[in-house]
């Protein structure tokens, strides 16, 4: 173990100047600097920065006429499409805050989000309008495609001029966006971000990706998730063009890289696995890509290497959270230093510590503990309010809930989630460690490991496994395979074969769902 003092922080990145502007100021600055540059590509449509700015200004004026302003919240419950971006920035320009809800959420989940956030109005797509009405959001409901009774989205925009409204707010404290946490271990919480924290996160993401006005990036993850929102905002901060997809389709994504000459690809774990296994991957021209970014989950090195060997495209890794969008990244300007075993070094203006899981005291380099952070991109806090008591340590350190360790010179390693660690006879077992071994088996296409209750040991590891179609594998083979590479207390006690692993939009395994299914058997 290193003798370095536990109080010595990792070497910091250079500080960044963050302009004192609201989050929507990123779009306004791009419209002023790159007015006729393409900001958004969606199917066959094209929008310039000037057009997005003007359309969101018109919507803001229409919302103001409907008595929406500072202190109000508006639900945005819609799939990926240009109207989502126009609506989100229109809500903010009206002075209100946007409650971002995934269009995949069902009635009970939407009702939970509505109870948490108390919105005054909702903007939905046709697929969510009926659900929104059932969740008591029908009054003043705006549907982006005009498929329900009530004011039409584009009619409202057409009724107002596109000039900017005068709006005074404090970026440091004025609530801008509420995202829903992933809910991997319990009911989702609402994550409250100020204009300042989102603007900071966008600029940090731009820096982490090394993005400039000549870049083109893709987004197919939901815009309601912090990753999708950060991609949009970093594109605006860079003057870069953004190809948006309504949903993920692998062939469409690969074909658009070729046709649009995409320079930055963004992928989460299931997408990376699908690309690495694509039978015709070599038939697509991916030569425009500078790299693919892997985020949201730790890298599966076998999958990453297989993709790179087949395409020549490397991976840039990064780490962030809904509560603090950008926390670490590999140094984009130094490709020779890129590594797959780590999400990189703490980002600019991000203070990071590893603390003991029980005492919360800092631990030395090389020792495992919880990752805690503080910086200008950290959220205002959660709803419900009582969730904040356990979210922060004294001094404003946000508890990420991630378990990891740090090298002497600051390289971060993530091993698992605090609440998902499996406690076997008092020993801590990281599900991700077992998953990485299972994924190295040629017969495993995907998997997730969770802790199942045990009368003697407290918990024991169980796995849900998706077989690879071309290779036969059974439970005993996988138990033996993993057992040969793990300590006895980490040994799998059961394997269930499933059609798919339940995951969040960002690719995180929903282990609580797997445990619920196990307990129901």
Question: DSSP characters for 122-166?
Answer: EEE-HHHHHHHHHTT--TT-EETT--SSS-BHHHHHHTS--PPPP
Residue 15, number of CB atoms within 10 A of its CB: 8
Is the pLDDT at 1 greater than 50, yes or no? no
Which stretches of 310-457 are assigned E, i.e. beta strand?
315-321, 324-329, 345-346, 351-355, 369-374, 381-383, 392-393, 397-406, 412-417, 422-424, 427-429, 444-454
* In contact, 399 and 374? CB cutoff 8 Å: no
Distance CA 222, CA 244 (A): 10
Domain endpoint, select from 200, 234, 259: 200
**By the 8 A CB rule, do 36 and 50 touch?**
yes
Final residue belonging to a domain, choices 176, 200, 224 = 200
pLDDT for the residue numbered 13? 62
Q: Which is higher by pLDDT, 37 or 415?
A: 37
Q: How far is CA 274 from CA 268, 343, 438, 449, in A?
A: 10, 21, 17, 20
Q: Over the stretch 457-514, which tens digit does the pLDDT of each residue have?
A: 878 999 999 998 888 899 999 999 888 888 788 889 999 999 999 887 767 788 888 8
The CATH number that applies at residue 484 is: 3.30.300.30
Any domain includes 125: yes
In a domain, 268, yes or no: no
Phi, psi of 427 (to 5 degrees): -90, 140
Matching residue, tokens 């603007």: 199
Give the Å distances, CA to CA, from 449 to 22, 46, 268: 42, 43, 18
**Mean pLDDT along residues 246-268:** 94
In a domain, 186, yes or no: yes
Q: Is residue 84 part of a domain?
A: yes
| In a domain? residue 501 | yes
Q: Residues 37-45: what's their mean pLDDT?
A: 97
- Which segment of 102-106, 194-198, 307-311 scores lowest on mean pLDDT? 102-106
Q: Which 8-state DSSP code applies to residue 440?
A: T
**Longest C-alpha distance within the chain, in Å?**
69
Which domain covers residue 91, as residue numbers?
Answer: 25-200
| Domain assignment of residue 393, yes or no | no
Nearest partner of 426 among 462, 463, 458, judged by Cα? 458
Contact 257, 283 (CB under 8 A): no
Measured in whole angstroms, how far is the alpha carbon of residue 131 from the centre of its chain? Answer: 25
Q: What's the burial of 500, exposed, middle or buried (CB within 10 Å: 0-12/13-18/19+)?
A: exposed
> pLDDT tens, 119-173?
999 999 888 888 888 988 888 899 998 766 667 899 999 999 999 998 999 999 9
SS (H, E, C) 30-91: HHHHCCCCEEEEECCEEEEHHHHHHHHHHHHHHHHHCCCCCCCEEEEECCCCHHHHHHHHHH
Q: Among 500, 472, 485, 370, which residue's Cα sits nearest to residue 434? A: 485
Q: How confident is the model at residue 100 (pLDDT cuts 50, 70, 90)?
A: very high
Cβ neighbours of residue 84 under 8 Å, at least 6 residues apart? 76, 78, 144, 223
Backbone torsion region of residue 381, taken as left when φ is above 0, otherwise alpha when ψ lies between -120 and 50, otherwise beta:
left
Beta bridge partner(s), residue 503 = 509
Q: Tell me, what's the pLDDT at 4? A: 37
pLDDT value at residue 511? 84
Q: Does 212 reside within a domain?
A: no
Q: Give the pair of three-digit tokens for residue 121.
A: 């109005």
Contact 322, 192 (CB under 8 A): no
Count of the separate structural domains present in the chain: 2
CA dist., res. 150 & res. 156, Å (int)? 11
Share of the chain above pLDDT 70, in %: 95
The Cα 401–Cα 449 span in angstroms is 18
Whole-number Å distance between alpha carbons of 244 and 311: 23
Residue finishing a domain among 177, 200, 223: 200
Q: Which residues pair with residue 451 across a beta bridge?
A: 461
Average pLDDT of span 171-184: 86
- Whether residue 37 is contained in a domain is answered as yes
Q: What is the DSSP string of 180-225?
A: EP--SSSS--EEEEEHHHHHHHHHHHHHHHT--TT-EEEE-S-TTS
The CATH number of whichever domain residue 125 belongs to comes to: 3.40.50.12780
């Amino acid at each position: 173990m290193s003798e370095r003092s536990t109080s010595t922080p990792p070497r910091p990145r250079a500080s960044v100047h963050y302009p004192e502007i609201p989050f929507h100021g990123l779009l306004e600055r791009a419209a002023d600097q790159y007015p006729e540059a393409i900001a958004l590509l969606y199917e066959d449509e094209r929008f310039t920065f000037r057009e997005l700015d003007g359309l969101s200004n018109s919507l803001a004026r229409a919302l103001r006429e409907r008595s929406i302003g500072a202190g109000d919240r508006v639900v945005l419950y819609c799939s990926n499409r240009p109207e989502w971006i126009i609506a989100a920035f229109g809500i903010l320009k009206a002075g209100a805050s946007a409650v971002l809800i995934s269009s995949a959420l069902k009635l009970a989940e939407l009702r939970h989000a509505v109870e948490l956030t108390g919105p005054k109005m909702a903007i939905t797509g046709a697929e969510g309008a009926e659900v929104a009405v059932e969740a008591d959001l029908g009054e003043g409901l705006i549907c982006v495609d005009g498929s329900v009774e009530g004011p039409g989205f584009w009619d409202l925009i057409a009724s107002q001029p596109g000039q900017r409204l005068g709006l005074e707010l404090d970026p440091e404290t004025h609530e801008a966006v509420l995202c829903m946490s992933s809910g991997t271990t319990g009911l989702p919480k609402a994550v409250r971000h100020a204009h300042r924290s989102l603007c900071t996160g966008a600029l940090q993401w731009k820096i982490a990706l090394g993005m400039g006005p000549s870049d083109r990036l893709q987004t197919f993850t939901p815009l309601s998730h912090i990753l999708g929102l950060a991609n949009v905002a970093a594109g605006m901060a860079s003057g870069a063009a953004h190809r948006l997809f309504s949903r993920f389709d692998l062939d469409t994504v690969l074909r658009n890289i070729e046709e649009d000459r995409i320079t930055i690809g963004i992928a989460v774990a299931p997408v990376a696995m699908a690309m690495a296994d694509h039978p015709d991957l070599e038939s697509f021209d991916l030569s425009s890509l500078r790299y693919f970014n892997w985020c949201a989950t730790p890298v599966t090195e076998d999958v990453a290497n297989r993709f790179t060997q087949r395409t020549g495209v490397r991976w840039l890794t990064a780490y962030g959270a809904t509560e603090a969008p950008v926390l670490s990244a590999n140094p984009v300007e130094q490709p020779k230093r890129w590594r797959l075993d780590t999400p990189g070094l703490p980002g600019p203006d991000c203070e990071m510590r590893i603390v003991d899981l029980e005492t919360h005291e800092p631990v030395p380099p090389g020792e495992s503990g919880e990752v805690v952070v503080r910086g200008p991109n950290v959220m205002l806090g959660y709803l419900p309010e009582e969730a904040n008591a356990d979210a922060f340590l004294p001094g404003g350190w946000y508890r990420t809930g991630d378990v990891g360790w740090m090298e002497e010179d600051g390289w971060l390693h993530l091993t698992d989630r605090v609440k998902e660690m499996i406690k076997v006879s008092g020993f801590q077992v990281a599900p991700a460690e077992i998953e990485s071994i299972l994924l190295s088996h040629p017969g495993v296409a995907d998997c997730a490991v969770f802790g199942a209750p045990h009368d003697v040991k407290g918990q024991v590891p169980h796995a849900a496994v998706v077989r690879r179609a071309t290779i036969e594998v059974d439970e005993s083979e996988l138990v033996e395979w993993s057992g040969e590479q793990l300590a006895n207390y980490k040994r799998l006690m059961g394997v269930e074969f499933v059609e798919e692993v339940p995951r969040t939009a960002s690719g995180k395994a929903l282990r609580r769902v797997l445990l619920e299914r196990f307990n129901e058997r």
